[in-house]
Amino acid sequence: MTAAREIRLKSRPSGLPTADNFELATVDLPAPGEGEVQVKNLWMTVDPYMRGRMNDVKSYSPPFALGKVMDGGAIGEVTASNSPNLKVGDLVQSGFGWREGFNAAGDKLQKLDPRGLPPQTFLGAAGMPGVTAYAGLLRVAALKDGDVVFVSGAAGAVGSMVAQIAKAKGHTVIGSAGGADKVAFLKEIGVDHVIDYKVEKDLTGALAAAAPGGIDVYFDNVGGAHLEAALNSANMFARFAICGMISIYNATKPEPGPSNLAQLIGKNIRMEGFIVSHHFDLMPKYIEELSGWVKAGKVTWKETVFEGLEKAPEAFIGLFSGENLGKMLVKLG
């Protein structure tokens, strides 16, 4: 028997989640059964999309159940094995996050080959957020030579990869983020024009100044006023990859959309929402390209790390005030 703590959904939030919506519990893990392994999680991820799963509404991911563990991505180490697929010491990637350990069938877990990268990278730059950036930019927005790219939430896990992939491919990139640290990071990774949206209240004016020739691609992580500014600056046949709208995830009443959607017509703009799970076929190609960029020093990443499972709610809530620079992670091991 091993004790493992886990975080459960105690109550559904109205607006921004608070500590009261979460509950820390301890469970006993029996020895793994036939075909099973026991895993000690080393890292877990908190992501903005999880906010949607806290609501009791049908969406692309099923809602978290009250009183049950909030699952999500995690990287762990096999500590006991009754499975021929995995041995003690193997690293595994799973969807059994928000807990310190678990038992699972060995053939249901993905063995992680870290390829010389720190294992938590596979929750960020080399994982779901990274391939989200790649798929959104290359497939959804159909990035092509000469495109000027605007990305909001540019210092986040997805946004910072969007910015760097576009730079690696030779594009002019405008990124928006909030606060001096993030602005400095974006300049460091080569973003051509950085908009600090916490300082710059006229986003349309700021974007027009940063991209006097207009933008061709907008990668939206934020929605709201950012989307409005992007529509105003869009060139003919611009393509918008709509990945997230973190500005409205905690809205308690309907937040009106941008008032300038009619620009879609005259400018022939394509605005396409996507979720990354429909694009996982790109993962091998992405990892191959990423390896090359990392070796060439063209791509890097930042992590904001909270230590201890009990800090997971705080890390998660911090996403909505932009407390993370790069990937927000919780270190468990």
Residues that bind a copy of itself (CB under 8 A): 52, 59-60, 223, 227, 242-245, 248-249, 254-275, 278
How far is the C-alpha of 321 from the C-alpha of 197, rounded, in Å?
13
**Residue 272 or 314 having the CB closest to a copy of itself:** 272
**Residue 121 or 132 having the CB closest to a copy of itself:** 132
- Do residues 140 and 241 touch, judged by C-beta distance below 8 A? yes
Beta carbon of residue 148, minimum distance to a copy of itself (angstroms, whole number): 19
**Residue 85 or 232 having the CB closest to a copy of itself:** 232
Residues 6+ apart with CB under 8 A from 34: 82
Question: Could you tell me the two tokens for 17?
Answer: 């989640």
Beta carbon of residue 30, minimum distance to a copy of itself (angstroms, whole number): 37
- Do residues 196 and 218 touch, judged by C-beta distance below 8 A? no
CA–chain centroid gap for 300, Å, is 16
- Smallest CA-to-CA distance from 121 within 161, 173, 71 is with 161
How far is the C-alpha of 223 from the C-alpha of 230, rounded, in Å?
10
Residues 6+ apart with CB under 8 A from 49: 61, 244
**Residue 190 or 273 having the CB closest to a copy of itself:** 273
Beta carbon of residue 15, minimum distance to a copy of itself (angstroms, whole number): 15
**Residue 271 or 283 having the CB closest to a copy of itself:** 271
Sign of the torsion formed by the C-alpha atoms of 185, 187, 189 and 195: positive
- Smallest CA-to-CA distance from 280 within 93, 153, 150, 120 is with 93
**Residue 118 or 258 having the CB closest to a copy of itself:** 258
**Residue 249 or 301 having the CB closest to a copy of itself:** 249
Beta carbon of residue 237, minimum distance to a copy of itself (angstroms, whole number): 9
Tell me the three state secondary structure of residue 126: coil
Beta carbon of residue 127, minimum distance to a copy of itself (angstroms, whole number): 19
**Residue 78 or 246 having the CB closest to a copy of itself:** 246
Beta carbon of residue 257, minimum distance to a copy of itself (angstroms, whole number): 3
Q: How many CB atoms lie within 10 A of CB 225?
A: 16
How far is the C-alpha of 306 from the C-alpha of 313, rounded, in Å?
10
Beta carbon of residue 228, minimum distance to a copy of itself (angstroms, whole number): 9
Tell me the three state secondary structure of residue 324: coil
Beta carbon of residue 245, minimum distance to a copy of itself (angstroms, whole number): 5
How far is the C-alpha of 149 from the C-alpha of 216, rounded, in Å?
6
Beta carbon of residue 17, minimum distance to a copy of itself (angstroms, whole number): 17
The half-sphere exposure of 193 on its side-chain side, counting CA atoms within 13 A, is: 20
Q: Is 320 exposed, middle or buried (0-12, 13-18, 19+ CB in 10 A)?
A: middle
**Residue 72 or 106 having the CB closest to a copy of itself:** 72
Q: Tell the residue number behind the tokens 């024009």, with chain if given.
A: 193
